[in-house]
């Protein structure tokens, strides 16, 4: 597949909220989250694997935000197997704080499927807004199920 087809695949995946028909992700798909938040998530592992990655990251969002995150696509570009998007994400924390952060997502496609995603964001801003105190961290972990 070329860059245009890969870009279309990635945009459809995000618009659909994940692998809607079970054919969009490679069997060895991995979502790499920032290491700055890994100590709270997924048993301290920043990588989420397979079809369950979207569901796990949705559980993180529900634990972090009182409102669903509102991503606004700033741009999306593609070259060969790579698709890069910048998103502005807005949400409200469970403590009522407004969260706004820029995310860059670098996605690698292989053989017409999404094989890998690298998530880049200001993790200090996320940490300060969502889990900035021991009490907030404890309630986040309780909601997340850790």
pLDDT tens for 72-123 read: 999 999 999 999 999 999 999 999 999 999 999 999 999 999 999 999 999 9
What predicted TM-score, i.e. pTM, was given to this entire model? 0.88
Domain chopping of the chain, boundaries: 3-144
Q: What is the pLDDT of residue 39?
A: 72
What is the CATH code of the structural domain delimited by 3-144?
3.10.450.50
How many residues comprise the chain?
A: 146
Q: Which of 130, 81, 131 is nearest to 108 (CA)?
A: 81
Q: Which of 3, 24, 4 is nearest to 12 (CA)?
A: 24
Report in angstroms the alpha-carbon separations of 15 from 40, 130, 139: 27, 25, 30
Which segments within the chain are labelled E, that is strand? 25-32, 47-49, 70-79, 82-92, 98-110, 113-121
Q: What is the pLDDT of residue 146?
A: 63
């Amino acid at each position: 597949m070329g860059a245009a087809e890969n870009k279309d695949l990635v945009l459809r995946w995000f618009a659909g909220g994940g692998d809607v028909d079970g054919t969009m992700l490679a069997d060895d798909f991995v979502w790499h989250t920032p290491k700055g938040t890994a100590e709270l998530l997924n048993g301290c592992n920043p990588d989420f694997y397979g079809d369950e990655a979207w569901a796990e990251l949705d559980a993180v969002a529900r634990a972090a935000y009182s409102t669903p995150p509102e991503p606004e696509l700033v741009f999306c570009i593609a070259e060969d197997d790579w698709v890069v998007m910048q998103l502005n994400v807005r949400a409200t924390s469970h403590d009522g704080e407004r969260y706004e952060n820029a995310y860059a997502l670098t996605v690698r496609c292989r053989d017409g499927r999404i094989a890998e995603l690298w998530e880049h964001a200001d993790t200090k801003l996320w940490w300060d807004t969502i889990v900035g105190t021991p009490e907030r961290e404890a309630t986040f972990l309780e909601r997340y199920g850790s």
